[in-house]
């Protein structure tokens, strides 16, 4: 059965402004919206015309040049492609009447698995064994068990909750911070953000999954590193600006903490001259925590679901709370 067409003058216009736009356009078509929307596709290196901007009701993009949203008088909804949206909510041209939804939840599988990989990296000798193999050296090295250790998750959102399930299966004790006090499966105790130091003082591994907001900028500073155990590790899979870089380097070099695994940075790619590259005890990952060859298909399915909700006037999935910033 063919899709019923909608008169041109009543169709909403959706601008899909990214290199993978075709994947998202196909998701809309499969969901039955092909004939009811005016869908415009642009690569990220292209600029929309004034006419395109003037008629756009819906925007799907990774980012938009400063001030551009002011040229889109009909814009009613932006679908972000990432879970973190600080680059959107901080824009002065983001009108309060524009709905903003993010891709929260699309890292549910990949991110927890990569975080577990980081924990194994810290406690098992596989990286050193690979170097030994290169030199044809037979060296038997001890590994440190994860069972019985405490994982402190700062920011028990969707990824943190999923990770807690997997970590508990490895017999890790899981605690963490969260605004809401309601219980989380496999989390022994939840602390309010104001009690972060309680989590730091108990944890063998401190995992940052906080969103970046004015309240969390520079969250992990010298004082908080001193609240950690000297044999504890920091893992940052949240946002680079959650950490004061110089304080982290000092804490690792002074053995205030045992080390760190970082996947996110204030500037990406991490500049070649950055001290993290050569600081012993800091492992640099190139922002691969949520990298997934099929992620665009996952986000496209969310976008198509949200399109149906938007057209029906229903609440959007992963709608951003503009006051909280996530």
**CA 205 – CA 32 distance, rounded (Å):** 46
Mark whether 323 is an active-site residue: no
The three-class DSSP label of residue 156 is coil
Query: CB-based burial of residue 284 (10 Å sphere; 0-12 exposed, 13-18 middle, 19+ buried)?
Result: middle
φ, ψ (nearest 5 deg) of residue 271: -55, 145
Look at the block and give the residue holding tokens 């304080």. 247
Active site residue 266: no
- Helix/strand/coil for 226: helix
Q: Of 137, 179, 268, 324, which one is the catalytic site residue?
A: 268
Q: Which two tokens stand for residue 217?
A: 């900028």
Choose, from 287, 295, 309, 322, the residue flagged as catalytic. Answer: 287
Contact 298, 79 (CB under 8 A): no
Q: How far is CA 98 from CA 48, 59, 138, in A?
A: 19, 10, 62
Full DSSP string of 48-104: --HHHHHH-SEEEES---TTGGGG-TT--EEEESSS--HHHHT-TT--TTSEEE--T
Class of residue 83 by CB neighbours under 10 A (exposed 0-12, middle 13-18, buried 19+): buried
Residue 121 appears among annotated catalytic residues? no
Measured in Å, how far apart are the chain's first and last C-alpha atoms? 40
Q: Which two tokens stand for residue 146?
A: 């994860």
CB 89 within 8 A of CB 100: yes
Measured CA to CA, the distance from residue 64 to residue 67 in angstroms comes to: 8
The Cα–Cα gap between 296 and 291 comes to: 10
Q: Which residues are catalytic?
A: 239, 268, 287
């Amino acid at each position: 059965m063919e899709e019923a067409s909608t008169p041109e003058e009543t169709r909403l216009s959706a601008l899909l402004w990214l290199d993978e736009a075709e994947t998202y356009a196909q998701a809309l078509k499969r969901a039955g919206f092909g004939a009811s929307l005016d869908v415009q596709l642009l690569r990220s290196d292209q600029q929309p015309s004034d006419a395109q901007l003037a008629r756009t009701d819906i925007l799907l993009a990774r980012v938009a040049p400063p001030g551009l949203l002011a040229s889109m008088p009909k814009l009613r909804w932006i679908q972000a492609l990432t879970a973190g949206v600080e680059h959107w909510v901080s824009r002065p041209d983001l009108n309060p009447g524009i709905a903003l939804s993010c891709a929260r939840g699309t890292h549910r599988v990949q991110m927890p698995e990569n975080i577990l990989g980081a924990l194994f990296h810290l406690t098992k000798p596989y990286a050193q064994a690979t170097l030994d193999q290169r030199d044809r050296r037979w060296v038997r090295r001890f590994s440190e068990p994860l069972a019985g250790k405490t994982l402190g998750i700062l920011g028990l959102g969707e990824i943190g909750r999923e990770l807690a399930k997997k970590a508990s299966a490895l017999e890790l004790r899981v605690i963490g911070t969260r605004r809401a006090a309601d219980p989380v499966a496999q989390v022994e105790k939840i602390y309010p953000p104001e009690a972060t130091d309680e989590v730091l003082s108990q944890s063998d591994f401190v995992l940052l999954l906080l969103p970046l907001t004015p309240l969390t900028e520079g969250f992990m500073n010298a004082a908080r590193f001193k609240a950690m155990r000297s044999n504890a590790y920091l893992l940052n899979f949240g946002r680079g600006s959650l950490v004061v870089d110089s304080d982290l380097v000092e804490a690792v070099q002074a053995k205030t903490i045992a080390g760190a695994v970082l996947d996110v940075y204030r500037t990406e790619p991490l500049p070649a001259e950055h001290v993290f590259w050569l600081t012993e005890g800091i492992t640099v990952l190139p922002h691969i925590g949520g990298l997934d060859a099929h992620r665009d298909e996952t986000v496209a399915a969310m976008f198509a679901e949200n399109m149906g909700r938007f057209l029906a006037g229903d609440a959007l999935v992963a709608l951003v709370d503009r006051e909280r910033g996530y």
